Amino acid sequence: MSKARKSPRIEKAIQFATAAHEGQFRRSGDPYISHPLAVMKIVEDWGMDEDTIIAAVLHDTVEDTSVTLQDIKEQFGEQVAFLVDGVTKLGTARSGMRDIDTYLPQTRDNLLRLLVATGSDIRVLIIKLADRLHNLRTLSALPPDKQKKIAKETLEVFAPLADRLNMGRLRVEMADIAFSYVNPKRYHELADIIEKYNLSAEKTMQKIQKEVSEALGREKIKFQISGRVKSVYSLHKKLAKHNQNMGEIYDLTALRIIVNDITDCYLTLGIIHSLYMPMSGRIKDYIAMPKQNGYQSLHTTVITKDKKIIEFQIRTHEMHEYAERGLAASFYYNEQKLTENYKTGKIQHLPTNLLWITELQETAAKLRAGKKIDIKKLRLNLFADKIFVYTPKGDIIDLPKGSLPLDFAYRLHSEIGEHVTGVKINGKMSSLNTKLQHGDIVEILTSKNRTARESWLLDKIFTPHARQKLRAQLSRNK
C-alpha cells in the first residue's frame, strides 16, 4: 500500500520529526529518525489511514524531544495529537498497564487494559505494535539484559495482542524473533527440526501439490496453492501442550489453498478428501465457526497413499487477508464503514471480528470518562465465549454466550428489536426467554404496530448493547 509519492501532510511530518530528532542516535549508531521512519513504513504497509501514518512518524517526538503535544495539535490536528499522546502514555506496556489498574483493577484482559491506557483508540495499539516490531528487528544492538526483557514482554503481551487482532503475519514474526532471544538454544533446535522436516518432505509436497492442482483444474476451480512453514514459536507451544511428543504434531508442513469464494472452499475440501484419506476428528470448519479473533479457514489433515500426513488450509482471498493482516486489513477495507458503524450503531455483516473491537473501544471510552461499568456483565460480554448464530439468510452474528432472541434482534437493527413479536429458532416458534445456542438459525418476527416494552428489561435482554437501545426507545416513546 505504500505509495511512491507521499501526501504533503506526511512529507511535512517527516521533516518535522527529522528536525526534532536531529543529533539523536540509536544504539546501533544510526540516526534516530531511522526508527520513526521504519515504523511509518510498517503502518503504511499495513494500509493504515493517513493520521495513523503521521502519528507513527511523530510517535517518539513528545517523549524524546522538545516537541510538545500542543505543537503537534497545531501542526497536524487533533486526531494525530490524540494518537501520539496515546502512544506516549503507553510507554512500555507494563507501566501503561500499571496505570490502568486505577480504572480497571478487576480485569487482566490486556487488550482492554491497553485500550483504556491509550484513550480507547485501537490505532494507538497498531502504532505501538509497529514500534515494537521495529525494535525487535533491531534488537541485536541492545545489551543482553534489555534484549531479554523486551523479548519476554513481547511474548507475554504483544504477540498475544497481535493474535487477538488476527494479525497472523505480525504475530509470527514478533514471536519468533522474541523467542530467539528468550531461549536461543531451544529456538535453534526447533528451527533445525522444522528445516530438516521440510527438506525431507519436499518431494512428497511437490507430488501432492501436483495431484491436487490437477484435480482442482479438472473441476475448473481457480486457486492458488503454496506451502506454509510452521513458525518456531508455535511449534514450541504445541510441543509443550503435547508433552514434547513430536508424533502428535501433524501440521509441521501444510499446504494452503486460496480460492475465490466459500462454495469453492467446500468443493476443494471435498476434492482433497476424494484424493486422500482424511484423519478423523481433524476436519475443522472455521468458516462456519470462526475463531474468536475472526480467523476463518477450513482445515483438514489427510494421510496420503504413501502414508505421509499433511495438513491443508483452505480459504478465500478475503479470509487470507484477514488471517495475515487482521485488524489492519479491516481498517483498509472498512475504514469508511467503521466510522459509519460508530455513528449509526448499524451492524455490518462483514467482518464480524470488528464488532467486538468496537464494543471494547466503547467500553474503554466509558471507563476513561469515569463511568461505572458493571464488570460482571462486561466480563460476560467481552471475555466469555462467543456463540455464533445465523440469520435465515445465513449471515453469521456473534453474540456473548447467554444471549436471548432480543439481543440478536437489536444486533441486527434497533428498529427490528423495537418491533419484535416473536421468534423462530431453527424453524420452531420459541419463547423470547430461550437462550440462544451456538449454530442456531434465528428468525425474528416483527410487526409495525408493536413497540418496545419495559418488561423486556427484566428477563428478556442479556447484552448491554440491547439494553441501551431498548432504554433509549422507551424514553423516546414516553
Active site residues: 63-64
Which residues, numbered 170-209, are part of the site for Mn ion (CB under 5 A)? none
- Compose the 54-83 pattern: x for residues touching Mn ion by CB under 5 A, - for all others: ------x-----------------------
Segment contacting Mn ion (CB under 5 A): 126-134, 388-396, 424-432, 465-473?
Answer: 126-134
Query: Which residue in the shown chain puts its C-beta closest to Mn ion?
Result: 131
Which CB, 24 or 245, lies closer to Mn ion?
Answer: 24
| 3-class secondary structure, 384 | coil
Which CB, 62 or 378, lies closer to Mn ion?
Answer: 62
On the 0-12 / 13-18 / 19+ scale of CB atoms within 10 A, 194 is middle
Residue 384 Cα distances to 32, 292, 356, 399, angstroms: 43, 10, 12, 10
Q: Is 131 in the site for Mn ion (CB under 5 A)?
A: yes
Residue with cell 524473533: 177
Whether 378 and 320 have beta carbons less than 8 Å apart is answered as no
Q: Is 125 in the site for Mn ion (CB under 5 A)?
A: no
Which CB, 57 or 378, lies closer to Mn ion?
Answer: 57
Whether 445 and 421 have beta carbons less than 8 Å apart is answered as yes
Which CB, 113 or 132, lies closer to Mn ion?
Answer: 132
What phi and psi values does residue 308 have, to the nearest 5 degrees?
A: -95, 140
Spatial separation of the C-alpha atoms in residues 293 and 162, rounded to whole Å = 10
Whether 52 and 7 have beta carbons less than 8 Å apart is answered as no
Nearest CA to 415 among 334, 476, 357, 352? 476
Which CB, 95 or 102, lies closer to Mn ion?
Answer: 95
Segment contacting Mn ion (CB under 5 A): 43-51, 131-139, 376-384, 401-409?
Answer: 131-139
Spatial separation of the C-alpha atoms in residues 238 and 293, rounded to whole Å = 19
Q: What string of DSSP letters covers 25-48? A: B-TTSSBTTHHHHHHHHHHHHTT-
Residue 386 Cα distances to 91, 425, 438, 465, angstroms: 32, 18, 8, 15
Least distance in Å: CB of 134 to Mn ion? 7
- Compose the 394-433 pattern: x for residues touching Mn ion by CB under 5 A, - for all others: ----------------------------------------
Least distance in Å: CB of 27 to Mn ion? 13
Counting residues that bind Mn ion (by CB under 5 A) gives 2
Looking at residue 184, its amino acid is: P
Least distance in Å: CB of 361 to Mn ion? 23
Least distance in Å: CB of 130 to Mn ion? 9
Which CB, 134 or 320, lies closer to Mn ion?
Answer: 134
Secondary structure tally for the chain: helices H, strands E: 23, 11
Q: Is 37 in the site for Mn ion (CB under 5 A)?
A: no
Q: Which residues bind Mn ion (CB under 5 A)?
A: 60, 131
